[in-house]
Chains A and B, each alone.
Chain A
Amino acid sequence: MSFISYLINGLSLGSVYAIIALGYTMVYGIAKMLNFAHGDVIMIGAYVALLSMTQAGLSPLAAILIAVVVCTALGIVIERIAYKPLRNASSSLAVLITAIGVSYLLQNVALLLFGANAQSFQSVVKWGGLSLAGGSLKISGETVVTIIACIIIMIVLTFFVQKTKPGQAMRAVSEDKGAAQLMGINVNGTIALTFAIGSALAAVAGVLLCSSYPSLTPYTGAMPGIKAFVAAVFGGIGSIQGAFIGGLLLGIIEILGRAYISSQMADALVFAVLIIVLLVKPTGLLGKKIQEKV
C-alpha cells in the first residue's frame, strides 16, 4: 500500500515538473534558447494567485486566471525586452546569460515586493481528496487535481501544436526560422506566442506546486525550475511528449528513490539517471536526432 502511495505522490510531483518542463521545452524548440527565468515566472504566478485570494478576496478560479494573465504578459515582456534584441547576437551564450540575469532580477524584485519571509499558500483545491482501501491509502485533492491538470494540458497542447495554424507555424519556425519567414510566417509573433503559452503554463504550475507544498518564498521557483529543466532534457528537449514523460519519470524516480534507497540521495539519484540516459541516448528519451546537412 505504501508503494502505491509513493507512486501517486511521485506522479503528482512529476506532473508539476512536466507542466514546467513544457515551458522549457517549447521555448527551446522554437527559440533555441534556455529560458532559465522560467522557474521564477512560476514563483511570480504563485504570488499573484496568493495575493488575489488573500488581498482581493477572489475565488481560487479567478485567482488562477489572473495569475495566468499576469504571467503571460510577463513572459511576453521578458521576451521583448531581454531576449528579442539578442536573438541575432553572434554568441548564443549572450541569451543564456541574459536569462540567468532575468532570473535573478525576478527573484530580487519579488524579494522587494513581497519580503523574504515565507508565506503559507492557500490551496486552491477545496476538495479533501480520496480515501481508499479503508483509509489506508489517502490521496489528497491537490494530488488528483495536479495529475488531471497535467494530462489535460498535455492533450490540449499536443492538439494545438499538431492541428492548428499557429501550432503549425510554431513547428515550422522550430525547424527552420529562415524558411518559415520566407513562407510568410510571422516569426517574431510566433516566438512571442510560445513565450506566452510557456508562461501561462508556468502560472498554472506555480499554483499547483504551492497548493501541494504550501510555502511560498521568492526562491520557491528556483529548484523546481532546475528539476523541470532536467526533466525536459531527460525526455528530449524540444519534444512536448518528451517533457511530459521526462517530468513524470523524474517525479517518480525522485519519490521512489527517497523511499527505497535513501531520503538524502534522492537528488543525486535524479541527476545520475539523467547522466545515464544522456550517455546512452544523447538527445534524451524522445529527442529527434537532427542531421546537419553540409
Chain B
Amino acid sequence: MKMLKKTASLMLASALMVSLAACGSDSGSSGSSGSDTFKIGGIGPTTGDNAIYGTAVENGIQLAVDEINADGGINGYQIEYQFEDDQSDSEKSVNAYNTLKDWGMQMLVGTVTSTPCTAVVEETHADNMFQLTPSATAVESIQYDNAFRMCFSDPSQGSASADYIAENGLASKIAVIYNSSDTYSSGIYQTFVTEAQAKGLEIVATEAFTADSKTDFSVQLQKAKDAGADLVFLPIYYQEASLILAQANNMDFAPAWFGCDGMDGLLALEGFDTSLAEGLMFLTPFTADAEDEATQTFVADYKENFGETPNQFAADAYDCLYSIKAAAEQADITPEMSISDISDAMKTAMTEITIDGLTGKQITWGEDGEPSKDPTVVVVEGGKYAVLQAE
C-alpha cells in the first residue's frame, strides 16, 4: 500500500514536471510567436462603473480589426484580437495583462481608464511591449517610451478648457467641482487652475469630492452658488455629473456647465432626464454628429454592428488600430519578431507617421507619446450633442 502511494506520488510529480516544462516552452515560444498573425490585445472595463467606456473601446477595436483584416491585414498579416475586462481596477488590469501575455499578445491597445493604465504601463515597460492607450489621460499613464496615447492628456484638457472659456468669454466667475480621489479629474483640475489664472479668469470656488462620497453634492453646489459662480467646470465622469445636474436643478442653481471628455456618455445614461443637461458644453475630440464622410461611415458601421451610436472612446479605439497599422507599415514589422523588437521599431515609427483619423486630422506624436491634434467643443442642444464651431 505504502509502495503504491509512493509510486503514485512519483508519477504525479513527474506529470507536474512535464506540464511545467510545457508551460515554460509555451510562454517562451509566444514571446516570438511563430505564427503568421499579429496578436493585439485590449484591456478595459466592460463591467462595473465605467463599463460604457470599455465596451465602446472593445467594439471600436473590433470594427477596425475586421476592416483591416478584410483589407489584407497589416503588412500582409492578419490580426488576431482579444479583449479582457478590468472593471477599471488596477489589480484586475494587471491580471488581464498577464492573461493576454499568456495568450501571446504582441501589442497592447489599452488600458481604457487612467488609474489602471498607470499600473499596467509599469508591466509593459518591464516587458518592453508596445502600448497605445485610446483613452487613459493621466500623464503617468504613458510615462515610458514604449507607451503612446490617442486621446488628449489631462493637462492639455485642463488648459484647453480654460483657453476656450477665456477666449469665448463664457464666464467671469468660475467654480470647479472635481474628484480628488481620481487621477483623471485632479489632473485636469490642476492645469485648468493654472491656465485659468494665466488667462485672468476668476475661480471663486474650488470644491472636491472623493470616490467614497460621490452621491451628495449639495454642499459643493451651495458653495458655488453662494460664491456667485456663473460657470461650473466639471472635470469628472458623467455618472457624478448627472447627479450634480439633478441636485443643482433641485436648488434652482443654473450656471453654465463645462466639462471634459468624461462627460461623453451622459445622454446615453439610462433614465437620465436630458433636459437637465441642456446647454452643457464639453471638450471632446469626437462627436457622432460631425458631418464629414469618415465619421458618418464609422457611425453607420458601428450602429449596424453593435446597435448603438459610438462615443469618443469607440472612435479613439478605432483610430488606435489604424495608427498601429500605419506605424507597423512604416517600421515594416512582422509577427515573427520578438515583442521587444516590435516595440522598439514601433516607438520610432509612431513619431514619424501622420494620421487622418476620426478624432482629429493630421495627428502626430512626440517622443513623449502625446498626440497633437485640435479639440472640438460640443454642446447639448435639445437632448443631442451639437458641435460648437470655434471662431
Interface residue ranges, A against B (CB under 8 Å): 2, 5-6, 9, 13, 50, 54, 111, 115-122, 129, 131, 135, 138, 140, 142, 209, 212-215, 217, 219, 223-224, 254-255, 258-259, 263-264, 266-267
- Across the interface, B216 reaches (CB within 8 A) one of A5, A115, A120, A255, namely A255
List residues 190-226 of chain B with CB under 8 A from any CB of chain A. 207-210, 212-213, 215-216, 218-220, 222-223, 226
Asked if A255 and B48 make an inter-chain contact with CB atoms under 8 angstroms apart, the answer reads no
Asked if A111 and B47 make an inter-chain contact with CB atoms under 8 angstroms apart, the answer reads yes
Interface residue ranges, B against A (CB under 8 Å): 47-49, 51-52, 180, 207-210, 212-213, 215-216, 218-220, 222-223, 226, 239, 242-243, 246-247, 250-252, 269-273
Taking A116-B47, A215-B243 as contacts, is the C-beta distance between A264 and B209 under 8 angstroms?
A: yes
Asked if A259 and B216 make an inter-chain contact with CB atoms under 8 angstroms apart, the answer reads no
Asked if A266 and B218 make an inter-chain contact with CB atoms under 8 angstroms apart, the answer reads no
- Across the interface, A120 reaches (CB within 8 A) one of B47, B213, B220, B269, namely B269
- Closest CB-CB distance, A242 to chain B, in whole Å? 23
3 closest A-B pairs by beta carbon, nearest first, are A120-B271, A213-B215, A116-B51
- 27 A-B residue pairings within 8 Å (CB atoms): A2-B222, A2-B226, A6-B222, A9-B216, A50-B271, A115-B51, A116-B47, A116-B51, A117-B269, A117-B270, A120-B269, A120-B270, A120-B271, A142-B250, A213-B216, A214-B246, A215-B215, A223-B215, A224-B215, A255-B219, A258-B220, A259-B219, A263-B207, A263-B208, A264-B180, A266-B213, A267-B213
Asked if A214 and B210 make an inter-chain contact with CB atoms under 8 angstroms apart, the answer reads no
Residues in B whose Cβ lies below 8 Å from that of A264:
180, 208-210
Asked if B226 and A140 make an inter-chain contact with CB atoms under 8 angstroms apart, the answer reads no
Residues in A whose Cβ lies below 8 Å from that of B251:
5, 138, 140
Asked if A121 and B271 make an inter-chain contact with CB atoms under 8 angstroms apart, the answer reads yes
Asked if A54 and B49 make an inter-chain contact with CB atoms under 8 angstroms apart, the answer reads no
Asked if A118 and B246 make an inter-chain contact with CB atoms under 8 angstroms apart, the answer reads no
14 extra interchain contacts, Cβ-Cβ under 8 A, other than A223-B212, A259-B219? Answer: A2-B222, A6-B222, A13-B216, A116-B51, A117-B269, A118-B49, A120-B242, A120-B270, A135-B252, A213-B216, A214-B242, A254-B213, A255-B219, A259-B222
Asked if B223 and A259 make an inter-chain contact with CB atoms under 8 angstroms apart, the answer reads yes
- Closest CB-CB distance, B229 to chain A, in whole Å? 14
- Closest CB-CB distance, A146 to chain B, in whole Å? 12
Asked if B243 and A138 make an inter-chain contact with CB atoms under 8 angstroms apart, the answer reads no
Residues in B whose Cβ lies below 8 Å from that of A118:
49, 239, 242, 269-270
Residues in A whose Cβ lies below 8 Å from that of B273:
120
Asked if A9 and B219 make an inter-chain contact with CB atoms under 8 angstroms apart, the answer reads yes
Asked if A217 and B49 make an inter-chain contact with CB atoms under 8 angstroms apart, the answer reads yes
CA gap between A25 and B219 in the complex, in Å: 29
CA gap between A263 and B239 in the complex, in Å: 19
Asked if A263 and B243 make an inter-chain contact with CB atoms under 8 angstroms apart, the answer reads no
Residues in A whose Cβ lies below 8 Å from that of B49:
116, 118, 217, 219
Asked if B250 and A119 make an inter-chain contact with CB atoms under 8 angstroms apart, the answer reads no
CA gap between A6 and B207 in the complex, in Å: 15
Most chain B CB within 10 A, of A115, A117, A213, is at A117
CA gap between A212 and B250 in the complex, in Å: 10
- Closest CB-CB distance, B344 to chain A, in whole Å? 38
CA gap between A203 and B213 in the complex, in Å: 21
Taking A214-B243, A263-B209, A267-B213 as contacts, is the C-beta distance between A119 and B270 under 8 angstroms?
A: yes
Residues in A whose Cβ lies below 8 Å from that of B216:
9, 13, 212-213, 254-255
Nearest residue (CB) in A for B218 is A9
- Closest CB-CB distance, A5 to chain B, in whole Å? 6
Most chain A CB within 10 A, of B213, B243, B269, is at B213
Residues in B whose Cβ lies below 8 Å from that of A122:
271
- Closest CB-CB distance, A117 to chain B, in whole Å? 6
Asked if A213 and B243 make an inter-chain contact with CB atoms under 8 angstroms apart, the answer reads yes
Asked if B210 and A258 make an inter-chain contact with CB atoms under 8 angstroms apart, the answer reads no
CA gap between A111 and B222 in the complex, in Å: 34
Asked if B246 and A255 make an inter-chain contact with CB atoms under 8 angstroms apart, the answer reads no
Asked if A255 and B218 make an inter-chain contact with CB atoms under 8 angstroms apart, the answer reads yes
Residues in A whose Cβ lies below 8 Å from that of B218:
5-6, 9, 255
Asked if B48 and A116 make an inter-chain contact with CB atoms under 8 angstroms apart, the answer reads yes
- Closest CB-CB distance, A8 to chain B, in whole Å? 9
Residues in A whose Cβ lies below 8 Å from that of B209:
263-264
Nearest residue (CB) in A for B180 is A264
- Closest CB-CB distance, B374 to chain A, in whole Å? 31
Residues in B whose Cβ lies below 8 Å from that of A140:
250-251
Asked if B250 and A263 make an inter-chain contact with CB atoms under 8 angstroms apart, the answer reads no
- Closest CB-CB distance, A2 to chain B, in whole Å? 5
- Closest CB-CB distance, B186 to chain A, in whole Å? 10
CA gap between A101 and B272 in the complex, in Å: 32
- Closest CB-CB distance, B123 to chain A, in whole Å? 25
Residues in B whose Cβ lies below 8 Å from that of A6:
218-219, 222
Asked if A117 and B51 make an inter-chain contact with CB atoms under 8 angstroms apart, the answer reads yes
CA gap between A199 and B361 in the complex, in Å: 56
